[in-house]
Amino acid sequence: MKKVYNANGLKTLSPNGSLVFCKNCEKIVASINKQGYRYINLSITCSCGSFGNLEIAKETSTSDPYEVINRMPKAKNGLAVCGVCNVPMFGVIDERVKNYSFYVECVCGKKYDLKPSFPKRLGETIEMLKNKD
């Protein structure tokens, strides 16, 4: 895939990611780890009501954004973290958005498109039980 940077209703400090701002109200709504992804597509509805979409692809990407993955990343300290290599990929500030969706391909090639659905405490308990074995 060739390099792509498309932003509508959102803007970043650099074309590789970093902080993500709502173009309407200028609030920081998310952040992207520049070294944590090959492809990312974020759709965000800001708390101000404005909708934005951001798509960034690197040349190493093998993603098809229309492919359904049905896999969720781990959640750690408010960030979406790859379940395979533990690299943080991005984070969305829940208090500043009404809703969001995403499709992301980690630097290791693992792809995700579902938001983590369990609360933080439950996630910690699951991790503790995994490590107990």
pLDDT digits (tens, 9 = 90+) for 45-89: 999 999 999 999 999 999 988 899 999 999 998 899 999 999 999
Q: Look at 45 and 115; give whichever has higher pLDDT.
A: 45
At residue 124, does pLDDT exceed 80? no
The whole-number pLDDT of residue 38 equals 97
At residue 120, does pLDDT exceed 60? no
Q: What is the DSSP letter of 21?
A: E
pLDDT digits (tens, 9 = 90+) for 12-50: 999 998 999 999 999 999 999 999 999 999 999 999 999
The whole-number pLDDT of residue 133 equals 60
* Stretch 106-120: mean pLDDT: 84
- Average pLDDT for the chain: 91
Residue type, 82: C
Q: Are 9 and 63 in contact (CB under 8 A)?
A: no
Query: Going by DSSP bridges, is the β-strand pair 51-57/4-8 parallel, antiparallel, or unpaired?
Result: antiparallel
Alpha carbon distance 108, 39 (integer Å): 11
User: Could you give the C-alpha distances from 18 to 9, 12, 13, 56, in angstroms and in order?
Assistant: 16, 6, 6, 11
Q: Are 54 and 101 in contact (CB under 8 A)?
A: no
Length of the chain: 133
* Stretch 89-103: mean pLDDT: 96
Nearest Cα residue to 101 out of 30, 37, 36: 30
Work out whether the CA dihedral 32, 34, 83, 70 comes out positive or negative.
positive
H-helix or E-strand containing 123? helix 120-132
pTM above 0.95, yes or no: no
